[in-house]
Amino acid sequence: MSPAQLLAVYEEFHRDHPHLSLASFAREADVPAWKLRDTRQQAAGQAQREVQQQAHLERIREAALEHPTYGYRRLHQVLARSAAQELSAPGHLGLHTIRLALGELNLQPPLARKTRKKAVPAVSEALWPAGRRVQVDATRFSLGDGICWAYLVLDVETRCLLHLHVVRSLSASSAVTALHTGLRVLRDLGITEEVLVMTDGGSDFTSTAFQDACQEVGSWVRAKVSQKGGMGILERTNRTLKYEFVFREDFASMQELRDGTVRFRDWYNQVRLHSALGYTCPWAKLLEVAKSRNAA
């Protein structure tokens, strides 16, 4: 028989013979007394732990019912504050204990339903609204101090790089800032016509803030790289920025890249010749367009 079974037999005998000691019973059963003693102590400790566990479960259940939308992390904060305020409250409960208890009690809050924003379809060139076409896109760089992104704003007609905005992460506000700064170059030259902003379907470009900014200056359309007149124009500029400037300069930090953007923009606009412009510079072409429009 196991020590636990022998201990159960002893408990039955002890009820009828209260003077029978555990050591005497162990001698009669030919079992070391320490085994029965340790088994009894372990059983008492287990019973005490079960009582404490039930108290913890009840405490967690009450907190979960009081805050039905809270997950285990928020409940952990609530229970920690309660334990600090009430001296009679049970000891500190860990995150893992609370998470397991919620599962045991079937009190896990329902998971929030993930809703994905419906993708905006790309529109063919024949259906694009009227306006001066300006493309905006972001390209990713992995530097020594981490990941960063560069927003590029390009005037399609003249291939002029209007602005290059380097940020740590993509956001709607950064996209709006890049767009406004790039369009300011056109406005300063007297080009005030409505603009057709062309981007891909990124969340920063489909955000409400960016869409509102586009409506203020004209309209917005999603374009693909593969379609005629689409984002492939700006993708070639992204490739030039990467392979002919950033990788050659070997920038170590985002600040170094940010400081070097002016040099790249000046070189791209005023030095590099473009076959689409009859091998002229974008800046010269933009000044020519601005002069003709202002003269008219």
Give 216-236 pLDDT, tens digit per residue.
Answer: 999 999 999 988 888 999 999
Place of tokens 């805050």: 67
pLDDT(161) > 90: yes
Strand partners of residue 197: 134, 220
Q: Label residue 295 by pLDDT band (50, 70, 90).
A: confident
CA distance 59 to 9: 37
Q: Tens digits of per-residue pLDDT, 112-146?
A: 677 777 788 888 888 888 889 999 999 999 999 99
Q: Tens digits of per-residue pLDDT, 31-77?
A: 888 887 888 888 888 888 888 888 888 888 888 888 888 888 888 88
- Taking the model in full, what pTM does it have? 0.62
The DSSP symbol for 117 reads P
More confident residue, 296 or 1: 1
CATH numbers and ranges of domains, the chain: 3-104 (no CATH), 125-295 (3.30.420.10)
Q: Tens digits of per-residue pLDDT, 98-108?
A: 888 888 888 87
Q: Tens digits of per-residue pLDDT, 75-89?
A: 888 888 887 776 555
Supply the pLDDT for residue 165: 96
DSSP string, 250-283: T--SHHHHHHHHHHHHHHHHHTS-BGGGTSB-HH
Beta strands in the chain (DSSP E): 132-143, 146-155, 160-167, 195-199, 218-222
Q: Label residue 163 by pLDDT band (50, 70, 90).
A: very high
Cβ neighbours, 10 Å, residue 5 = 10
Percent of the chain with pLDDT over 70: 96
CA distance 246 to 150: 11
Residue 263: Cβ-neighbour burial (10 angstroms; 0-12, 13-18, 19+): exposed
DSSP string, 13-56: HHHH-TT--HHHHHHHHT--HHHHHHHHHHHHHHHHHHHHHHHH
